[in-house]
Amino acid sequence: MRDVYQEQLDELAGALAGMCTQVADAMSKATRSLLEVDLQLAEEVISEDVRVDEIRAQAEERAFALLALQAPVATDLRIVVSAIHGAGDIERMGDLALHVAQAARRRHPHPVLPDEVAPYFAEMGRVGVELALKAGDVIRSRDLTRAAELESDDDAMDDLHRHMFTVLMDRNWSHGVGPAVDITLLARFYERYADHAVAVARRIVYVVTGQMPGPLTV
């Protein structure tokens, strides 16, 4: 019975790690749809988002079943509770990638991004995808060193997010209010996406140590 129970816990972790891979792919495609003005990629992200929602629902069902049938304690209880919260964080990452894709679709066939800011969004996309993939690795391995790396990796996203405001406030900005609003919202989507990846890593720290790192507002 214990072996079956452990397999169920491993399957739950595997489902969450798989979600991380999916939302990384979604953000990669969403970013490319922005940079390349690619409607097909945007549509793929939008249509595939439902799959992330389905996996979250399945993961939560598994977690609640474990709570009801196994009455876990100590580390096992932390795993199950963290899985429930982590599934919500990862689903939200998928939603944020969806918002990016929707922005690309809404402005198509026109580009959302002026040329001078496109490289910054390319970098935000790269950082976001790496954070999501690393969060999946941390779920599988429970490696606290890797979990801590996400905190420092997130600093790069925060720096890019802040830099967008510098660009928008520059007196030489010539693209008007509409693009400025789009860029502000998009930068916030990427910044929040990264925050949720960090939140997932922090939940793994809690699983391993029993101590939750400082609060993160997302």
Q: What is the pLDDT of residues 149-206, one digit of tens each?
A: 998 899 999 999 999 989 998 888 899 999 999 999 999 999 999 999 999 999 999 9
Give, as one character, the DSSP assignment of residue 213: P
pLDDT of 218 > 70? The answer is: no
* Average pLDDT, integer, range 39-68: 94
**So what's the pLDDT on residue 172?**
86
- Say what percent of the chain tops pLDDT 90: 81
Q: Assign 3-class secondary structure to 74-97.
A: HHHHHHHHHHHHHHHHHHHHHHHH
pLDDT of 94 > 80? The answer is: yes
Write down the mean pLDDT value for the chain: 92
pTM assigned to the model = 0.93
Q: Which CATH architecture has domain 2-209?
A: Up-down Bundle (1.20)
Per-residue pLDDT band at 6 (split at 50, 70, 90): confident
Domain boundaries, the chain: 2-209
Give, as one character, the DSSP assignment of residue 73: -
Q: What is the pLDDT of residues 37-50, one digit of tens each?
A: 999 999 999 999 99
Answer yes or no: are the C-beta atoms of 70 and 78 closer than 8 Å. Answer: no
Query: 139: part of which helix (H) or strand (E)?
Result: helix 118-141
Cα separation, 39 vs 202, whole angstroms:
35
Q: Which residue from 206, 209, 202, 23 is spatially nearest to 218, judged by alpha carbons?
A: 202
